[in-house]
Every structure is written in C-alpha cells, then in structure tokens.
C-alpha cells in the first residue's frame, strides 16, 4: 500500500545554483537524491512510509532551521519536520519536498537547582533521561526510550510518570520556535502566551521548536516491569485491571497488554514467542509503599513470570523497547474508552487472539489520575484529561505482502470496539492518513476553534501542514 499525503503540491523546479547556495548557507548537511546516505536519511521508524523528498536538510542549529524554513517558503516546497522520526502517520518525511531534519540537534542543559532542562529537538527520551539521571532527575514522556522528544511533546506525551506529574506538554515551561516567516520566537506564560497555549497540544502546526524547556523531577529508583500471564488468562486479567485500576495511586502508571513475548534480555529464551497477557507497571515514589501497592497485582492469578524490580528510571524506560522495534510496518489506531464492560473485554480479547501478526501489541492504559483531572482541559490545547482508559491497537508486521490483512484486521477491530469508544483520540497514537472526517474533533475537542485562531496568526498559509493539521481560515 502506498501512503499519499492529503494534499498535493505544485512544486516550482529548483535549479542547481539555488540548491547549491542553500547547501552553502547551512552549517549542517544538505542531502539530495542520489547522494550516499539518501536512503538512510529518508527512512523513518514506520516502514509503511516510503517517501522520496527532494532535499533533506540535516540542521546543525537554529540558524539552519531558519534558513531551511525560508528556503522552503520562498521556493514553495512542502516541508516535513523530523525529530525522532517516530510519527506513525509518517509526517516526518514527504515526497518531493524538503525534510527539515532536527535529529542531529542534541544539546541539553540541566539546571538541577531549578529542576529544569533545556533540550534540543533531536534528542530522544532515553538520551534526555540518561543525562538527567546523573542529577537524580527524570522527565515525563515516553513509554519507550527511542521516541523523539519533539513530536511526542507537541501533541501530548504519555509516559511512565504521567499519572504523577502530567503529560510531557504539561511540563513544558517554554519553547524557542521558528515561525513560518523564519522568525525566532520564545513562547512561555508571559511571552507569546497564545502560541505557548497552542504548542502544548497543537502538534507541529505553528512552527519548528528548536528548544524545549521542561520541568523535571527527582526520580531515583522506580519499581517497574511486567507481570506476565498466559494468554488463556487474558479475560480474567483484563477484567481485574478494569476493576482495580481506578483505585491505583497517581504514583503508579500502568497498562494491560496482549502480545507475543519478544526476545528480551529480562526474559528466558524459552519464553520468546509466547502469546501472553501482561500488566506493565512503573511505580515512582517510596519503594516500600510501592511494594505494598503492587503486591495484589503480582499475587493475582498464576503468572508465568514477574519481571518487576527496582531500577533507575532511565533503565525502566527502556523496558518496553523490545516490543516496538524500528523497521517494521506499523498501522496504529486508538481511542479513549470509558465503557469497558464485559462485552468490550470479550471483543478486545477475541480480536487480539486473531491478530494476523505476532508483532502486534494491543493495550489499554490508564489515561487519567487525580493530577491529570486537576488540569483544566482548556488550559493547554490538549483536551483529554479525564478519560479513564486509552485503547491502542499497535499493529506491526514484517512482510509488505501482509499489509492488506493487517490493516483489514485493525479496521475490523476498531469497528467492533466502536460502541465502547469515545469520540476522542490521541493523535500521536493514531494513523491519520485514512482517518474519518471527525478526526480533528476527536483530537482537539472544544479547543479546535482557539487553535484555528492561533494557526491564523502564526501560519496563515499553512506552511507547516504535515502534522495533525489545523487548517487556517484563509
């Protein structure tokens, strides 16, 4: 299956001297079709996405980002912005246009006194937390370590500290951002406050963030891991999770997952490939209190294995990496879920059983807490604060020949779950290329109108449109 962008663009042909002058203006590297490294540079996490940009600007710093935005605007080039390259919808690469690749921008500065970090947009969560751990600190964001900080933060940001400290965007104190006009602005609570409101949930719609400033927290050891049950126990385990999770304290972030065990260092080799049901946990708080909270979860039923242990937070954040290897074909659909009755549980378990690929993970995670409910849904552009659960089908497969049946199965699964799902979804967990016309409502809810106003002000020509796009009213 070929994925097309939703809008086609008329491109002005570029002559060599124009391109050469642009290349010379960069401190970083300009990669063109035919250059060594072109194919590696256009490859993103999701192998479903196979696009051939005209140019890839590997930016070395803010000056390069400004030059690239100005070059694209003047030459009417479609822009794709790449941070960690994990966009499931494939927004970080395009056909024919210019990829503004931030992945080499990995500078960071930790202020351990103020408990803040300034981070450049090419960092992954693993890299950021690796440095923060030196100070006994950690940042919210990312259930896996290799996702980029940029795309994850700008549209939301779930991770192992989310129920205690909020989403990644809730901890965003300020950004430096290059606008469509090539201007560098700072946005925070007092400078460009409307832009600051919009970047916290509005995706990459308003410009390219060149610096993120986050609040970070003391996090030493956490209790993290999986309680793994045989798949035959899935219905009981999922019901148990449904019943018990509402009383979990905010220190505990968790999910229930159905998947096949990957080859992972923390599992004996003979378990590789087993279909299982598991509860994944991370308790960030007093460890003795955490042991008590986790005891009944670990004692439930007859687990095959229990990998929960005290780990440095940055190590815990790598625990789920093996479930999402780069380079597979991925097709994700998700929606928030409030009505998780026995019929929904049965559908969830039955569809998982029939998954065409053993690389697929289906899960339900807790998506609220006292801390999240305490945040006004209009105080940032991200509206989803109180839905109890988030349902995700992360379909993954190796062989392109299996694409059709994996996508068909995912769509059938979503349709069967539909009666139980909210008209609300997290755009970062959803392949939007074939989304229905209501997706903007589902992603932005009542914040949509205000987002259009911010878009009109900062990007009225929709230069930044490969994202969960907010169309300006021209």
- Give me the residues that bind ligand FAD (CB under 6 A), please: 45, 80-88, 91-92, 102, 121, 142-144, 147-148, 150-152, 154, 156-159, 203-204, 208-209, 324, 428, 466-467
Q: Which residue has the tokens 């946990």?
A: 281
Q: How far apart are CB 27 and ligand FAD at their closest, in Å?
A: 18
**Phi, psi for 312 (deg, rounded to 5):** -60, 140
Q: How far apart are CB 305 and ligand FAD at their closest, in Å?
A: 23
Comparing CB distances to ligand FAD, the nearer of 261 and 432 is: 432
Q: How far apart are CB 152 and ligand FAD at their closest, in Å?
A: 3
Distance between CA atoms of residues 366 and 109, nearest Å: 32
Q: Specify which residues 215 forms β-bridges with.
A: 116
Comparing CB distances to ligand FAD, the nearer of 86 and 314 is: 86
The first and second tokens of residue 425, run together, are 């979804």
Comparing CB distances to ligand FAD, the nearer of 94 and 304 is: 94
Q: How far apart are CB 104 and ligand FAD at their closest, in Å?
A: 13
Distance between CA atoms of residues 33 and 367, nearest Å: 43
Comparing CB distances to ligand FAD, the nearer of 164 and 349 is: 164
The first and second tokens of residue 113, run together, are 């006194």
Comparing CB distances to ligand FAD, the nearer of 92 and 245 is: 92
The first and second tokens of residue 391, run together, are 């349902």
Q: How far apart are CB 132 and ligand FAD at their closest, in Å?
A: 17
Q: How far apart are CB 68 and ligand FAD at their closest, in Å?
A: 12
Distance between CA atoms of residues 197 and 378, nearest Å: 9
Comparing CB distances to ligand FAD, the nearer of 66 and 152 is: 152
Q: How far apart are CB 427 and ligand FAD at their closest, in Å?
A: 9
For 451, which DSSP code?
A: H
Interaxial angle between packed helices 62-74 and 16-25, expressed in degrees from 0 to 180 and rounded to the nearest 10? 160
Distance between CA atoms of residues 333 and 410, nearest Å: 7
Distance between CA atoms of residues 313 and 330, nearest Å: 27
Query: Phi/psi class of residue 70: alpha, beta or left (left: φ > 0; alpha: ψ in -120 to 50)?
Result: alpha
Comparing CB distances to ligand FAD, the nearer of 58 and 303 is: 58
Comparing CB distances to ligand FAD, the nearer of 97 and 142 is: 142
Nearest to 154 by CA among 101, 85, 200, 208: 200
Distance between CA atoms of residues 357 and 13, nearest Å: 43
Comparing CB distances to ligand FAD, the nearer of 131 and 349 is: 131
Comparing CB distances to ligand FAD, the nearer of 86 and 420 is: 86
Comparing CB distances to ligand FAD, the nearer of 97 and 157 is: 157
Nearest to 393 by CA among 357, 369, 367: 357
CA geometry: angle at 332 spanning 268 and 449, to 5°? 140
Under a CB-based contact definition with an 8 Å cutoff, are residues 65 and 207 in contact? no
The first and second tokens of residue 205, run together, are 């719609």
Q: How far apart are CB 336 and ligand FAD at their closest, in Å?
A: 13
The per-residue DSSP string of 26-81 comes to: -SSEEEETTSTTHHHHH--S-TT-----SEEEE--SHHHHHHHHHHHHHTT--EEE
Q: How far apart are CB 168 and ligand FAD at their closest, in Å?
A: 7
Q: How far apart are CB 141 and ligand FAD at their closest, in Å?
A: 7
Q: How far apart are CB 291 and ligand FAD at their closest, in Å?
A: 25
Under a CB-based contact definition with an 8 Å cutoff, are residues 196 and 204 in contact? no
């Amino acid at each position: 299956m070929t994925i097309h962008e939703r809008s086609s663009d008329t491109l002005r042909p570029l002559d060599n001297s124009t391109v050469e002058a642009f290349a010379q203006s960069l401190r970083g590297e300009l990669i063109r079709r035919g250059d060594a490294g072109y194919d590696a540079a256009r490859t993103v996490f999701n192998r479903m996405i196979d696009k051939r940009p005209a140019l890839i600007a590997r930016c070395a710093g803010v000056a390069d980002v400004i030059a690239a935005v100005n070059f694209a605007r003047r030459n009417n080039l479609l822009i794709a912005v790449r941070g960690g390259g994990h966009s499931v919808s494939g927004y970080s690469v395009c056909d024919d246009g210019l990829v503004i690749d931030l992945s080499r921008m990995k500078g960071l500065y930790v202020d351990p006194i103020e408990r803040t970090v300034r981070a450049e947009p090419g960092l992954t969560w693993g890299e950021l937390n690796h440095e923060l751990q030196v100070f006994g600190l950690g940042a919210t964001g990312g259930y896996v370590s290799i996702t980029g900080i940029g795309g994850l933060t700008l549209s939301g940001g779930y991770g192992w500290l989310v129920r205690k400290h909020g989403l990644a965007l809730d901890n965003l104190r300020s950004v430096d951002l290059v606008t469509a006009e090539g201007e560098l602005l700072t946005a925070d609570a007092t400078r460009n406050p409307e832009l600051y409101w919009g970047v916290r949930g509005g995706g990459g719609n308003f410009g390219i963030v060149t610096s993120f400033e986050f609040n970070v927290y003391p996090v030493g050891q956490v209790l993290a891991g999986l309680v793994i049950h045989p798949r035959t126990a899935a219905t009981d385990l999922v019901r148990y999770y449904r019943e018990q999770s509402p009383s979990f304290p905010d220190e505990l972030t968790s999910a229930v997952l159905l998947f096949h065990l990957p080859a992972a260092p923390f599992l004996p080799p003979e378990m590789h490939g087993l279909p299982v049901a598991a509860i994944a946990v991370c308790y960030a708080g007093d460890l003795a209190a955490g042991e008590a909270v986790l005891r009944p979860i670990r004692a439930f039923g007859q687990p095959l294995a229990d990998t929960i242990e005290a780990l440095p937070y940055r190590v815990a954040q790598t625990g789920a990496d093996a479930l999402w290897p780069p380079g597979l074909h991925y097709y994700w659909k998700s929606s928030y879920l409030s009505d998780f009755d026995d019929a929904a549980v049965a559908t969830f378990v039955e569809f998982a059983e029939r998954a065409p690929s053993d690389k697929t993970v289906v899960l339900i995670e807790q998506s609220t807490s006292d801390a999240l409910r305490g945040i006004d849904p209009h105080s940032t552009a991200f509206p989803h604060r109180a839905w109890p659960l988030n349902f995700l089908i992360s379909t993954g497969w190796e062989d392109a020949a299996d694409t059709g049946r994996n996508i068909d199965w995912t769509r059938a699964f979503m349709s069967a779950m539909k009666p139980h799902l909210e008209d609300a979804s997290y755009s970062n967990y959803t392949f939007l290329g074939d989304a229905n016309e209501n997706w903007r409502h589902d992603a932005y809810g009542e914040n949509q109108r205000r987002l259009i106003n911010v878009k009109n002000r900062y990007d009225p020509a929709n230069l930044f449109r490969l994202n969960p796009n907010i169309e300006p009213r021209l």
